Copies of this chain bind each other. A is one copy, B any other.
Amino acid sequence: MQIAMLVYDRFTALDVVGPYEILSRLPDARVDFVAEQAGPVRTDTGFLALTADKALDEVPRPDIVVVSGGPGTMDQLKNPALLDWLRAADATTTWTTSVCSGSLLLAAAGLLQGRRATSHWVALDLLKEFGAEPTGERVVTDGKYVTAAGVSSGIDMALTLSGRIAGDEHAQAVQLLTEYDPQPPYDAGSPQKAPAHLVEEFRAGSRFSLT
């Protein structure tokens, strides 16, 4: 089973490393990090590079695609090389997935037209503009399309998908392996739960730069 993790300049590392850690434990999994060109790809902070071992044309028919999000998404929304690859790969995937703003790329490729999907909470309106039907859920499955909300939600998405593919017991074993028993010291992980002024600062772009 070939799993393609799609990354690009200024992606968010945890978007893909979360799902990679989970999905790489699937029976017979082979994971390939893939980018427009093979080689090191730098993340949004500038502090880290992951190696894409393969260029797009080296991975034409993956079984599973996982599309990263990140501030760099916006620069890829009109990149024909990337969108063409997504459309071609999707033609034969069993699962096409995304984390965070990665769903905008699936939508820009025309793959989420009329489908229920999700994205980072700040990107849900834009996802709608691309023809998808955004929901506020953390993991959304519509047919073979599985989209996750922001950054860390890819872990939940991948565990869900692992259960679908290899059964509950396998997914539970991977949860135990990764000791995924979350105990966040705060309860501010969604716009519904975070202090309202923080949500406003994000929307106004004054807290962190999101693009």
On A, residues with C-beta under 8 Å from B are 12-14, 17-18, 20-21, 24-25, 30-33, 40, 45, 47-51, 53, 100, 120-121, 138-139, 149-153, 155-156, 159-160, 163, 168-169, 171-173, 175-186, 188-191, 193-195, 198-199, 201-202, 207-208
The 10 closest A-B pairs by CB, nearest first: A150-B179, A181-B189, A182-B182, A172-B188, A31-B47, A49-B51, A151-B178, A17-B17, A14-B21, A180-B189
Contact A48 to B47, CB < 8 A, known contacts A179-B151, A185-B163 = no
Please state if B199 and A189 are interface contacts (CB–CB under 8 Å): no
Q: Which residues of B contact A182 (CB under 8 A)?
A: 152, 155-156, 180, 182, 184, 189
Please state if B47 and A40 are interface contacts (CB–CB under 8 Å): no
Q: Which residues of B contact A159 (CB under 8 A)?
A: 184-186
Please state if B185 and A171 are interface contacts (CB–CB under 8 Å): yes
CA distance A14 to B20 in the complex (A): 9
Q: Which residues of B contact A31 (CB under 8 A)?
A: 45, 47-48
Nearest B residue to A193, CB-CB: B181
* Residue in B18, B51, B172 whose beta carbon sits within 8 Å of that of A48 in the complex: B51
Q: Which residues of B contact A177 (CB under 8 A)?
A: 150-151, 202, 207-208
Q: Which residues of B contact A153 (CB under 8 A)?
A: 179, 181, 183
Please state if A178 and B160 are interface contacts (CB–CB under 8 Å): no
Nearest B residue to A172, CB-CB: B188
Please state if B189 and A176 are interface contacts (CB–CB under 8 Å): yes
Q: A40-B51, A152-B181, A169-B198 are in contact. List 19 more A-B contacts (CB 8 A).
A: A14-B21, A17-B17, A31-B48, A48-B50, A120-B179, A139-B183, A152-B179, A152-B182, A153-B179, A156-B182, A156-B183, A160-B185, A163-B185, A168-B186, A173-B188, A173-B198, A175-B189, A176-B191, A176-B199
